[in-house]
Amino acid sequence: MRVAAAQAASVWLNPAATTNKVVGLIEQASGQAVDLLAFPEAFLSGYPFWVMLGGGGRFGDPEHARAYAAYLEAAVELDGPEVRQVAGAARDLHVFVYLGVSERGRGSGRGTVYCTLVAIDPEQGLVGAHRKLNPTHTERLVWGRGDGHGLRTHRVGPLRVGGLNCWENWMPLARHALYADGEELHVAAWPGSAAQTRDIARFVALEGRVYVVLASGLISADTVPKDFPFYQLTKDKPEGFYNGGSCIVAPDGSWVLEPMVGGEGLIVAEIDPARIASARYSLDPTGHYARPDVFGVTVDRRRQQALAFTD
């Protein structure tokens, strides 16, 4: 089985152009016989960098309101043309795709953006949409809270695959839910910053005895429109922010491919599913090393809505 992570920069807040870039990367992956391709967090249509770099923290800030409005308008709907185009490419090129999107809510939630990781099967199309359970720190100025609906694994070739966004990879029960759903390969989607990806990638691999494909993005002043309210923050961002760090880890915690810092491209590896069974002889966290008689865990996988109309 061949897997890959796309380390790239969005065409920021340009959903049509970013979708074309996604399709181009799927074409590259298909040319290298890749079975599964993972993209960074919120790749389509871009990560809200400004809230993490000190912008928009003041209540009622008009510049943040303008930035949020632009971000909302660039968000994509799950049944919109962008996701359909990506699903068509996945189908035609026979690649299973995990893609981070900034998802615009529908109906009563149309004014909200969710950080969503979608799973696209080449034959079945969109099979999963996991909304980030808890936006991290100042991300809460931009993203709504998700729910458990997307805490599911999907069959990709010989393996069951699940995924999480950025710091929710540190949430023990979110990982536990995926392990218990049979996860054997874990996709971790990040906006960038290699310093943060090295430890978590190996930790998840060792804890779950799973392969980890971590896709981490790139953001620079060259990728952000100059008329965006907080453009200057990308010019002044500290060293190490949004510089990639994509990597692939084996179930015993060893590197298949170490974190790549800077530069766009695909990191591709052939993995051996048999290594999962070998790693689980000493630890299977939701199997022979679980204690359901002591610990009880319930996961609500219903999609949460503000209301339900009865006519």
**Burial code of 254-272, b = ≥16 C-beta within 10 A, e = fewer?**
eebbebbbeeeebbbbebe
pLDDT-derived band at 109 (thresholds 50, 70, 90) equals confident
Residues 148-188 pLDDT 10s: 999 999 999 999 999 999 999 999 999 999 999 999 999 99
Query: Helix, strand or coil for residue 150?
Result: helix
Alpha-helix residue ranges (DSSP H) falling in the chain: 15-31, 49-52, 62-74, 81-93, 172-180, 194-208, 231-235, 274-279
| CA atoms within 13 Å, Cβ hemisphere of 5 | 34
| CA atoms within 13 Å, Cβ hemisphere of 216 | 28
pLDDT-derived band at 134 (thresholds 50, 70, 90) equals very high
The whole-number pLDDT of residue 138 equals 96
Q: Cite the active site residues.
A: 41, 132, 166
Structure tokens of 204?
């998840």
Element (H, E) at 269: strand 265-270
Determine how many CB atoms are found less than 10 A away from the CB of residue 138. Answer: 16
Average pLDDT, the chain: 96
The whole-number pLDDT of residue 56 equals 87
